[in-house]
């Protein structure tokens, strides 16, 4: 199923495109250190003058061509940030499958201890808007190219591996509704509704009324148009506002793919919002990318793709969002392999439509997105990132499912 991102996994002969300056002893030491830091991964390195470091652990899954000294030392100095920068600009080229290479890199990094500095500033209302604008307002046209028809930009659910992406996203939305036992007439509040697919689905298939919040103007505009077209404006209200400003009352609180953008510092605020709006017999649902142990998001992804984002551990969510409000965890499911599969589909579509994407954005953007999508797939398939779905309820509520049977 995996695509070659380049036409061949064979490195071209280094004749025309090589810079004239020969690599020095220090350059060769530097590339040796990089290889060493990924010791267990079968990777081959080639410098700009053709100097080659073969894989130390069997047939290489990929070859890196490092085109200049700046990329080399940037990588050595801060690999988590600068590998992405160099790949994006083309200063580092990868021959071989990007996902396979990244999986090996993730596995190799897992066995070496990583000292992480956890620090994140609070995403105030303005910063939150900026962060979301950065990513989600790239133009609905762009996302339409490679997302499913319903524009779900979150992990799909594949009852079996051969589901299409379209069907798997429908299955995901249905899974969310079934986990929440939605009943006709119930009032749902959705925090972070993307292009509105889930809100519309819940109203259409489960007969609930939904107030859906989002701070991306492009997404809200798209969602409202869909509500009008599908004649659902009486039951779905799309509100362009921050989750912190959610008011009113609801039987069900649901948030799919927003928690990653909230930031640890505001989890208590989110918990307070949930406790404020949920009825005594209310249920809630959180779907988010997470970790097994705390670690910041890769700095390159934070810089180029998701400013202000942080994937939390379950413990961090329970500690700050649910426990202080005496909310009871009813059900948790980890769907990380489903996100790996989702990302495989997204990449297939993205790469199938490369000419179209290339007509909209420059080469750096395309390479950045290829790396981001491939890196995300690798993070889920190697267990570096998790996808958690959490169902909760008021602590004293007995309006909870007896079993999981449905």
Contact flag: residue 382 with its own copies (CB under 8 A): yes
Stretch that binds its own copies, among 73-81, 84-92, 309-317, 354-362 (CB under 8 A): 309-317
Q: Does residue 395 belong to the site contacting its own copies (CB under 8 A)?
A: yes
Compute φ and ψ for 213, nearest 5 degrees. Answer: -105, 145
Contacting residue, 1, 15, 405, 406, with its own copies by CB under 8 A: 405
Q: Which is nearer to its own copies, 70 or 315 (CB)?
A: 315
Nearer to its own copies, 187 or 315 (CB): 315
Region from 58-66, 67-75, 239-247, 320-328 binding its own copies, contact rule CB under 8 A: 320-328
Q: Is 183 exposed, middle or buried (0-12, 13-18, 19+ CB in 10 A)?
A: exposed
φ, ψ for residue 93, nearest 5 deg: -115, 145
Binding letters toward its own copies, positions 131-170, x by CB under 8 A: --------------------------xxxxx---------
The Cα 25–Cα 247 span in angstroms is 64
Residues 6 or more apart whose CB falls under 8 angstroms from that of 359 comprise none
Q: Pick from 206, 208, 174, 192: which is nearest to 255 by CA?
A: 192
When the beta carbons of 264 and 330 are compared against its own copies, the nearer one is 330
398 binds its own copies (CB under 8 A): yes
Q: Which two tokens stand for residue 187?
A: 């009032």
Residue 195 or 388 with smaller CB distance to its own copies: 388
What are the Cα distances from residue 98, in Å, to 5, 54, 94, 230, 376?
7, 18, 7, 40, 11
Taking the complex as a whole, the smallest distance from the CB of residue 158 to its own copies amounts, in Å, to: 8
Q: Is 327 in the site for its own copies (CB under 8 A)?
A: yes
Residue 55 or 397 with smaller CB distance to its own copies: 397
Using CB under 8 A, which of the segments 115-123, 251-259, 364-372, 393-401 binds its own copies? 393-401
CB of 295 to its own copies, least distance (A): 10
Interaction between residue 313 and its own copies (CB under 8 A): yes
Report helix, strand or coil for 134.
helix
Number of amino acids touching its own copies (CB under 8 A)? 44
- Per DSSP, the residues of 24-55 read -HHHHHHHHHHHHHTTTS-EEEEETTS-EE--
**Separation of alpha carbons 90 and 193, rounded Å:** 35
Asked if 110 touches its own copies (CB under 8 A), the answer is yes
Give yes or no for residue 315 binding its own copies (CB under 8 A). yes
Distance CA 123, CA 262 (A): 7
Nearer to its own copies among residue 66 and residue 387 (C-beta) = 387
Please list, residue by residue across 204-242, b when 16 or more beta carbons sit within 10 angstroms of its beta carbon and e when fewer do.
eebebbbbbbbbbebbbebbbebbeeeebeebbbbbeeb
**Alpha-carbon distance 188 to 199, whole Å?**
9
State the DSSP code for 291: B
The correct pick among 232, 314, 343, 378 for binding its own copies (CB under 8 A) is 314
Burial of 119 (0-12, 13-18, 19+ CB in 10 A): exposed
Q: Which is nearer to its own copies, 2 or 404 (CB)?
A: 404
Site for its own copies in 277-306 (CB under 8 A): 292-294
Q: Which two tokens stand for residue 361?
A: 């954005």
Contact region with its own copies (CB under 8 A), list: 12-20, 28-36, 253-261, 316-324? 316-324
Find the part of the chain contacting its own copies (CB under 8 A) among 118-126, 235-243, 352-360, 383-391: 383-391
* Region of 5-13, 206-214, 319-327, 342-350 interacting with its own copies (CB under 8 A): 319-327
Neighbours of 26 (CB within 10 A): 10
Nearer of residues 13 and 396 to its own copies, judged by Cβ: 396
Instruction: Give the binding range for its own copies (CB under 8 A) out of 24-32, 124-132, 262-270, 378-386.
Output: 378-386
Structure-token pair, residue 355: 């000419």
CA 312 to CA 347: how far, in whole Å?
Answer: 25
Nearer to its own copies, 85 or 344 (CB): 344
Q: Which of 40, 348, 351, 397 binds its own copies (CB under 8 A)?
A: 397
Q: Which residues bind its own copies (CB under 8 A)?
A: 107, 110, 157-161, 292-294, 313-315, 318-319, 322-324, 326-334, 336-337, 381-383, 386, 388, 394-398, 400, 402-405
């Amino acid at each position: 199923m995996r695509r070659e991102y380049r036409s061949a996994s064979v490195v071209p002969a280094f004749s025309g495109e090589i810079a004239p300056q020969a690599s020095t002893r220090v350059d060769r030491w530097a590339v040796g250190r990089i290889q060493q830091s990924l010791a267990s991964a079968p990777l081959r390195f080639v410098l700009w003058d053709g100097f080659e470091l073969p894989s130390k652990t069997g047939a290489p899954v990929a070859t890196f061509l490092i085109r200049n000294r700046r990329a080399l030392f940037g990588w050595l100095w801060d690999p988590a940030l600068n590998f992405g920068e160099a790949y994006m600009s083309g200063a580092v080229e990868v021959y071989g499958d990007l996902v396979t290479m990244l999986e090996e890199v993730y596995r190799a990094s897992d066995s070496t201890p990583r000292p992480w500095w956890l620090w994140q500033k609070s995403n105030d209302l303005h910063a939150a808007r900026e962060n979301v604008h950065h990513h989600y307002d790239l133009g609905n046209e762009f996302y339409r190219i490679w997302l499913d028809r319903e524009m779900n930009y979150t992990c799909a659910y594949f009852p079996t591996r051969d589901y299409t992406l379209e069907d798997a996203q429908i299955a995901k939305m249905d899974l969310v509704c079934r986990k929440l036992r939605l009943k006709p007439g119930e009032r749902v509040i959705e925090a972070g509704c993307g292009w509105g697919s889930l809100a519309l689905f819940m109203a259409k298939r489960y007969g609930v009324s939904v107030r859906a919040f989002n701070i991306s103007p492009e997404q809200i505009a798209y969602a409202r148009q869909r509500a009008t077209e599908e004649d659902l404006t009486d039951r779905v209200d799309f509100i362009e506002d921050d989750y912190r400003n959610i008011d009113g009352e609801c039987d069900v609180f649901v948030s799919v793919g927003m928690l990653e953008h909230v930031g640890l510092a505001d989890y208590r605020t989110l918990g307070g919002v949930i406790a404020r709006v949920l009825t005594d017999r209310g249920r809630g649902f959180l779907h988010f990318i997470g970790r097994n142990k705390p670690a910041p998001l890769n700095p390159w992804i934070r810089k180029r793709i998701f400013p202000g984002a942080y994937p939390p551990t379950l413990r961090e969510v329970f500690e700050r969002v649910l426990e202080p409000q005496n909310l009871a965890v009813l059900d948790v499911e980890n769907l990380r392999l489903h996100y790996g599969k989702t990302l495989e589909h997204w990449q297939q579509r993205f790469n199938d439509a490369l000419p179209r994407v290339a007509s909209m954005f420059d080469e750096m953007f395309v390479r950045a997105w290829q790396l981001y999508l491939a890196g995300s797939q690798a993070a889920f398939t190697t267990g570096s990132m998790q996808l958690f779905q959490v169902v909760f309820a008021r602590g004293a509520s007995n309006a909870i499912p007896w079993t999981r049977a449905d």
